[in-house]
Amino acid sequence: MEFENILESLKNKIFKPLYLFYGDESYFIDELINYIQKNVLSESEKAFNQTIVYGKDTNAVDIIEMARRYPMMANLQVVIVKEAQDLKDFKVFETYVENPVKSTMLVFGFKQTKTLDKRLKVNNLILKNGVVFESKKLYEKEIYPWITNSLKKENLTIHPEALRLLYESIGSDLSRLANEIGKLAITQAAGSQILKDDIARNIGINRDFNIFELQKALGEKDKLKVYKIMDYFGKDTKGNPLIATVARLFDYFSKLIKVHTLERKSRDSVATALGVKPYFADEYLKAASNYPLGKLVNIVSYLRETDMKLKGVDANDIGDADLAKELIYKILH
């Protein structure tokens, strides 16, 4: 089942005896477990009928014993197993999940578990008798509408430049993005549009010296602005770590390579291919025209080399400041 379907069923009090959430995107797993933890039982029912354990601190036999108890002064009990990937004996649940107790909601949360081994009988039985949800990382083109929809629920809209600055500053970490959206919901007036300055102020970044402006300056080959931004980054390495800058630039220049490979280079085709708003298509087209394909391939290679050096491979005790200067020089010349 999909995230929204599961959440809607829970809100409508359509409960199953078994839930298994897994995947490499922890945000959706946390959201579902938090909803169950807070809303399935009333506050008075939770004291005797809600049990939360962690995989590393328990075992299957003890959890099965908890699950087979009957609720006290309630119609349902909830047993939540967080960090279930740390359980050493998950196969032991076979007998229980084959015939689960109807008055128990047993919930497993597996973090950073990309695949579900469907060869295991226990997993197939949960698929048959309960709800299984795979929490996948979102692609960049999916994150923009996710942010927009999340803000819409808070009765807020966002300008395209502010949207891109938010993504470029935070990246694809949905938990951090959700936290920033929560802060915006508190600080912004209902019905207002969030602008670039609002994002800069809310996140605590400089509106003129940030990764979004660096990419733009590099795309335009505005050398003076590039070096000003890199100088600012060098004075605040905690807020602007070079390894994060390299990762974002790798994404940016990879997009420019993709622009070169497109047969049609219209605004809509570029926006679709890159997963960005059409508002930014002209910027990418202009940047691609400033960098021949061969140069872009070299730039991506420079970024890979710098990333490896930052991780200690062939670094030769070169400091981050010197690595940054070398990298930017190679990109611009």
What average pLDDT does the segment 99-114 reach? Answer: 92
3-state secondary structure of 321: helix
Instruction: Find all residues with CB under 8 Å of 291, minimum gap 6, and list them.
Output: 253, 256, 299
Query: Which of 11 and 207 is assigned the larger pLDDT?
Result: 11
Question: Can you give the pLDDT at residue 168?
Answer: 87
Give the domain range for residue 284: 143-332
This prediction's pTM: 0.79
What's the CA gap between 206 and 241, in Å, rounded?
15
Question: Can you give the pLDDT at residue 57?
Answer: 93
Question: Can you give the pLDDT at residue 244?
Answer: 92
Strand partners, 78: 50, 105
Q: Taking a C-beta distance cutoff of 8 angstroms, is the pair 171, 58 a contact?
A: no
Q: Do residue 113 and residue 9 come from a single domain?
A: yes
Tokens of 260: 């070169």
Q: End of a domain among 135, 153, 179?
A: 135
Q: Do residue 57 and residue 149 come from a single domain?
A: no
| Residue 317 pLDDT greater than 80, yes or no | no
What average pLDDT does the segment 290-317 reach? Answer: 90
| Residue 315 pLDDT greater than 70, yes or no | no
Q: Do residue 123 and residue 161 come from a single domain?
A: no
Q: Do residue 121 and residue 230 come from a single domain?
A: no
pLDDT tens for each residue of 165-182: 999 888 888 999 999 999
| Count of alpha carbons within 13 angstroms of residue 13, beta-carbon side | 6
Q: Do residue 286 and residue 257 come from a single domain?
A: yes
Instruction: Find all residues with CB under 8 Å of 74, minimum gap 6, and list them.
Output: 41, 45, 48, 49
Q: Do residue 250 and residue 122 come from a single domain?
A: no
Q: Do residue 90 and residue 202 come from a single domain?
A: no
Mutual orientation of helices 223-235 and 211-220 as an angle, nearest 10°?
A: 150
Give, for 158, the enclosing helix (H) or strand (E): strand 157-158
What average pLDDT does the segment 111-135 reach? Answer: 86
Q: Do residue 50 and residue 159 come from a single domain?
A: no
Give the type of residue at 50: Q
pLDDT tens for each residue of 54-101: 999 999 999 999 999 999 999 999 999 999 999 988 889 999 999 999
Q: What average pLDDT is seen over the chain? A: 92
